[in-house]
Chains A and B, each alone.
Chain A
Amino acid sequence: MFKFILKRSLEAIPTLLVLITITFFMMRFAPGSPFSSERSLPPEVLANIEAKYGLDKPVHEQYFSYLGGLLQGDLGPSFKYKDYTVNELVAQALPVSAKIGLFAFAFTVVMGVSVGTIAALKQNTWIDYSIMSTAMAGVVMPSFVLAPTLVYIFSIQLKWLPAGGWNGGQLRFIILPMLGMSLLYVASFARIMRGSMIEVMNSNFIRTAKAKGLPFRHIVLKHALRPAMLPVVSYMGPAFVGIITGSVVIETIFGLPGLGRLFVNGALNRDYSLVLGLTILIGSFTILFNAIVDIVYAFIDPKIRY
Chain B
Amino acid sequence: MKTAKSLLSLAVVATLGLTACEQASQPEASQAAAPASGEPTLAAVQELVRGNGTEPASLDPHKTEGVPESHLIRDLLEGLVNQDGDGNIVPGVAESWETEDNQTFVFKLREDARWSNGDPVTAEDFVYSFKRAVDPATAGPYSWYLEMTGMKNAAQIIAGEMPADELGVKALDAQTLQIELELPLPYFIQMSAHTTLKPVHRATVEAHGDKWTQPANFVGNGAYKMSEWVVNEKIVMERNDQYWDNADTTIDKVTFLPIENQVTDMNRFLAGEVDLTYEMANEHFDRIKKDQPESLKVTPYLCSYYYGFNTKKPPFDDVRVRQALSYAIDRDAVANFIVGKGEYPAYNFAHQKVAGLQVDTPEYATLSQEERNARAMALLKEAGFDESHPLEFTLLYNTSENHKKVAIAIASMWKQTLGVEASLENQEWKTFLDNRRNGNYDVTRAGWCGDYNEASTFLSLMQSNNGNNDQFYYSDAYDSFMEQAMRATSDAERSDLYRQAEAQLAADMPLAPIYHYVNARLVNPKVGGYPMNNAEDKLYTKDLYILE
Binding site for B on A (CB under 8 A): 30-33, 35-42, 44-45, 48-49, 51-53, 77, 80-84, 89, 92-93, 148, 151-152, 155-156, 159, 162-166, 251-258, 261-262, 265, 268-270
Closest to B257 in A: A255
Extra pairs beyond A81-B58, A159-B271, A268-B428 (7, CB < 8 Å): A31-B430, A36-B430, A37-B433, A156-B267, A163-B271, A165-B234, A255-B259
Q: Which residues of B contact A32 (CB under 8 A)?
A: 429-431, 433-434
Once A268-B428, A268-B429 are accepted as A-B contacts, the answer to whether A48 and B230 lie under 8 Å apart by CB is no
B38 at the A/B interface (Cβ < 8 Å)?
A: no
Question: How distant is the Cα of A300 from the Cα of B397 in the complex, in angstroms?
Answer: 55
Once A44-B160, A83-B213, A165-B234 are accepted as A-B contacts, the answer to whether A37 and B435 lie under 8 Å apart by CB is no
Closest to B255 in A: A165
Within 8 A of A (CB), among B222-276: 230-234, 257-261, 263-264, 267-268, 270-273
Tell me whether B264 and A164 are in contact (CB under 8 A).
yes
Tell me whether A255 and B264 are in contact (CB under 8 A).
yes
Tell me whether B57 and A82 are in contact (CB under 8 A).
yes
Tell me whether A253 and B144 are in contact (CB under 8 A).
no
Closest to A32 in B: B430
Tell me whether B268 and A48 are in contact (CB under 8 A).
no
Tell me whether B65 and A37 are in contact (CB under 8 A).
yes
Tell me whether A257 and B233 are in contact (CB under 8 A).
yes
Closest to A53 in B: B139
Nearest Cβ distance between residue B305 and chain A, in whole angstroms? 13
B319 at the A/B interface (Cβ < 8 Å)?
A: no
Tell me whether A156 and B271 are in contact (CB under 8 A).
yes
B159 at the A/B interface (Cβ < 8 Å)?
A: yes
Nearest Cβ distance between residue B107 and chain A, in whole angstroms? 26
Nearest Cβ distance between residue B149 and chain A, in whole angstroms? 14
Tell me whether B271 and A155 are in contact (CB under 8 A).
yes
Once A42-B158, A44-B159, A81-B58 are accepted as A-B contacts, the answer to whether A36 and B267 lie under 8 Å apart by CB is no
Give a binary string over B361-390; 1 marks a CB under 8 Å from any A CB, 0 the rest: 000000000000000000000000000000
Give a binary string over B419-434; 1 marks a CB under 8 Å from any A CB, 0 the rest: 0000000001111011
Question: How distant is the Cα of A80 from the Cα of B430 in the complex, in angstroms?
Answer: 13
Tell me whether A52 and B139 are in contact (CB under 8 A).
yes
Q: Which residues of B contact A33 (CB under 8 A)?
A: 430
Question: How distant is the Cα of A253 from the Cα of B232 in the complex, in angstroms?
Answer: 12
Q: Which residues of B contact A254 (CB under 8 A)?
A: 264
Question: A81 touches which one: B55, B65, B267, B268 (CB < 8 A)?
Answer: B55
Question: How distant is the Cα of A41 from the Cα of B267 in the complex, in angstroms?
Answer: 37
Tell me whether A48 and B136 are in contact (CB under 8 A).
yes
Interface centre among A81, A164, A166 (most CB of B within 10 A): A164
Q: Which residues of B contact A163 (CB under 8 A)?
A: 264, 267-268, 270-271, 273
Nearest Cβ distance between residue A239 and chain B, in whole angstroms? 24
Binding site for A on B (CB under 8 A): 54-55, 57-60, 63, 65, 136-141, 143-144, 147, 158-160, 210-211, 213-214, 230-234, 257-261, 263-264, 267-268, 270-273, 428-431, 433-435, 437, 447-448, 467-468
Which 8 A-B pairs give the minimum distances between C-beta atoms? A32-B430, A163-B271, A257-B233, A257-B232, A52-B139, A31-B434, A48-B136, A82-B58
Could you list some 13 contacts between A and B, CB below 8 A? A31-B435, A38-B447, A48-B137, A48-B139, A77-B210, A81-B57, A163-B273, A252-B260, A252-B261, A255-B257, A256-B233, A258-B232, A265-B54
Tell me whether A92 and B231 are in contact (CB under 8 A).
yes
Tell me whether B272 and A41 are in contact (CB under 8 A).
no
Question: B233 touches which one: A48, A83, A255 (CB < 8 A)?
Answer: A255
Tell me whether B232 and A262 are in contact (CB under 8 A).
yes
Question: How distant is the Cα of A156 from the Cα of B413 in the complex, in angstroms?
Answer: 40
Question: How distant is the Cα of A92 from the Cα of B448 in the complex, in angstroms?
Answer: 35
Closest to A77 in B: B210
Question: A253 touches which one: B158, B261, B429, B434 (CB < 8 A)?
Answer: B261
Nearest Cβ distance between residue A177 and chain B, in whole angstroms? 12
Question: How distant is the Cα of A95 from the Cα of B429 in the complex, in angstroms?
Answer: 30
Q: Which residues of B contact A89 (CB under 8 A)?
A: 231
Tell me whether A82 and B429 are in contact (CB under 8 A).
no
Closest to A151 in B: B267
Q: Which residues of A contact B214 (CB under 8 A)?
A: 83
Q: Which residues of B contact A257 (CB under 8 A)?
A: 230-233
Closest to B446 in A: A38
Nearest Cβ distance between residue A48 and chain B, in whole angstroms? 4
Tell me whether A49 and B141 are in contact (CB under 8 A).
yes
Question: A148 touches which one: B57, B234, B263 (CB < 8 A)?
Answer: B263
Tell me whether B141 and A37 are in contact (CB under 8 A).
yes
Q: Which residues of A contact B260 (CB under 8 A)?
A: 252
Closest to A270 in B: B430
Question: How distant is the Cα of A52 from the Cα of B467 in the complex, in angstroms?
Answer: 22
Question: A92 touches which one: B59, B230, B267 (CB < 8 A)?
Answer: B230
Tell me whether B468 and A40 are in contact (CB under 8 A).
yes
Tell me whether B232 and A159 are in contact (CB under 8 A).
no
Question: How distant is the Cα of A152 from the Cα of B140 in the complex, in angstroms?
Answer: 42
Closest to A78 in B: B57
Tell me whether B60 and A83 are in contact (CB under 8 A).
yes
Nearest Cβ distance between residue A286 and chain B, in whole angstroms? 23
Nearest Cβ distance between residue B389 and chain A, in whole angstroms? 33
